[in-house]
A and B are shown apart, each in its own frame.
Chain A
């Protein structure tokens, strides 16, 4: 992590992630090929917070899975730190739409899981897990089981788990989609704070325009199927951003702009959020 950050400040020209002309085709139930993602190209600098915004089912999750190395692209290439991504990487942290916690493990043990897989010695991984639980503000809940936590807390455990490997890249696939509006806003604040504190590069998939505008340095606006990058919008609002800003004119103008871009891609049956 440290190395990657230092590296990127020295050689600013090399982005952390390069997505070049990536496409993904899969066979539908009737055997016909379906293009989920088509010639998507963009790059992400180290330390950036990027949101991938698009209508539901547009293939933005597919794109994220390809960056994560969980799904091979049908065409094009994805480079991480200049090297092709050909499978899951130790330095990637994944957060899914659902927390996907193991119900037989306590919060502590769930957060330790990535380091167990890596084979880290027990005392070290226990310390790391405690730090991460502290970072997501769940101190005191270490020995609780997932079913004893609310949905928002479960998702925070999964964020702690993803952060425990000190990921160079944190990939989040609509992580707050299943939460209620109030919890979601709180989680947005938390994820901003965590991204600042951990200095991780974040790729965040969402279909909420406000969430994308609030969180991102840059927003990738995706078109509907086959999905491609319609445009990239810089969000020039200083951090840390506060919830009051959600009602501000500045954020409002970005939201309007993003909505217009989305509606262009959607045509008459515009999907919003």
Chain B
């Protein structure tokens, strides 16, 4: 059970290179790109197998200049955000209910653990049948995949709450609702945000997979189209835009985490 209930804790050290404190990472990237560029040129690898980074960069620029990618980017982003929003709301609600209501924990929780073992991506084709080729099937695929890391972290956050905080609230004669809003929910925030950070990346994955299986718009659809026309540099270009999306969303979440769960990483025996 412990292995299924893996808790995604924050990784404080991974934020370091944003601050530009380390020069080793940019240097590594430059060295990697140069190595790629020259080995492709020297070994005369065909562009339909592996394009040079400069060709990819040109394509990225072209996609931006002609604006061909904007529509697809927007479609995928909407799918990701809608799916993520659904997953976050459902994750908080279901997770809280399971952690707080003994009956639900006995009935629903084993069921959820069982579903955990299914690769959720495998359900995407079913969603296509049920909800069609439009946005809905992608949004729901994204939501389903993003739901589990959020749900699992909410449950574990609810369970690991310091009992003394609850005792304090009870000594103040607080109602269950007040205890939930003023003690349980804020206590859980670091866990929730850890879950959301994983969830947003999973949501991107869900949307792309949904588009792979059947769609007429979106970055996933564009990858499939360009792959069909052996436009490998084009595929790489989409990957670059996808990583922009991922980094951007992750950055927004981290900023929110710093704002609302700042105390979880500030060290020390907080409130002990």
Contact = CB atoms under 8 A, between A and B. Distances in A.
The B interface, classified by DSSP as helix, strand, loop or mixed, is helix
B170 interface: yes
| Most chain B beta-carbon neighbours within 10 Å: one of A70, A100, A113, A147 | A100
Contact of A102 (B165, B167, B171): B165
B171 A92 contact: yes
Contacts of B172: 88, 113-114, 117-118
Contacts of B271: 98-103, 146-147, 154
A96 B182 contact: no
Interface in B232-272: 261-264, 266-272
Contacts, number: 67
Contacts of B167: 70, 96, 100
A116 B171 contact: no
A106 to B, nearest CB: 11
A94 B270 contact: no
A117 B182 contact: yes
A87 B173 contact: yes
A90 B173 CA distance: 7
B261 to A, nearest CB: 8
Interface residues of A, number: 25
Contacts of B178: 117
Contacts of B168: 94, 96, 100
Contacts of B267: 147
B173 A113 contact: no
A122 to B, nearest CB: 15
Interface in A107-147: 113-114, 116-118, 145-147
A113 B170 CA distance: 12
A147 to B, nearest CB: 4
B164 A98 contact: yes
Interface in A33-87: 68, 70, 87
Given A100-B271, A117-B172, 13 more contacts: A70-B171, A87-B173, A88-B170, A89-B173, A96-B168, A98-B272, A99-B272, A102-B165, A104-B186, A113-B182, A145-B266, A146-B270, A147-B271
Interface of B: 162, 164-165, 167-174, 178, 182-183, 186, 189, 261-264, 266-272
